[in-house]
């Protein structure tokens, strides 16, 4: 068996992995995609809610309440996705 110098062993233990910068970049891209997806989803919720309020103005209060709840849920999922993506980096 070949013995190695203790300096070589210590240098190998303290070496940083090469893939770490790539993972951080991919995590940032994932966080951006999550934010874009949430923006598109909330925009669609708002647009459809306004369309339905225009068609049935007598139900606009109930529609607005449901719209705000749905937008809050989408925003919560997006925040969770961004946190998970950034924790990977």
**CATH number, position 79:** 1.20.20.10
Considering the domain boundaries, does residue 73 fall inside one? yes
Using CA atoms, how far apart are residues 53 and 28, in angstroms rounded to an integer?
Answer: 37
The kind and range of the H/E element at 11 are: helix 6-14
Say what the pLDDT of residue 8 is.
64
Higher pLDDT, 27 or 43: 43
Higher pLDDT, 73 or 1: 73
21 burial (CB, 10 Å; 0-12 / 13-18 / 19+) is exposed
Considering the domain boundaries, does residue 66 fall inside one? yes
Considering the domain boundaries, does residue 5 fall inside one? no
For the chain, what is the largest distance between any 2 Cα atoms, rounded to a whole number of angstroms? 85
Total domains in the fold of the chain: 1
Confidence of residue 28 (pLDDT cuts 50, 70, 90): confident
Helix 20-55 and helix 60-88, axial crossing angle in degrees, nearest 10: 180
Global pTM exceeds 0.75 = no
Considering the domain boundaries, does residue 2 fall inside one? no
Considering the domain boundaries, does residue 53 fall inside one? yes
Considering the domain boundaries, does residue 21 fall inside one? no
Considering the domain boundaries, does residue 20 fall inside one? no
Query: Which residue segment(s) compose the domain that 47 sits in?
Result: 26-88
């Amino acid at each position: 068996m070949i013995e190695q110098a203790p300096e070589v062993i210590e240098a190998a233990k303290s070496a940083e992995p090469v893939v770490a910068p790539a993972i951080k970049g991919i995590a940032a891209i994932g966080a951006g995609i999550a934010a874009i997806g949430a923006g598109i989803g909330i925009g669609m919720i708002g647009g459809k809610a306004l369309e339905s309020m225009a068609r049935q103005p007598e139900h606009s209060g109930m529609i607005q309440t449901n719209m705000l709840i749905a937008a809050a849920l989408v925003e919560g999922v997006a925040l969770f996705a961004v946190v998970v993506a950034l924790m990977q980096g």
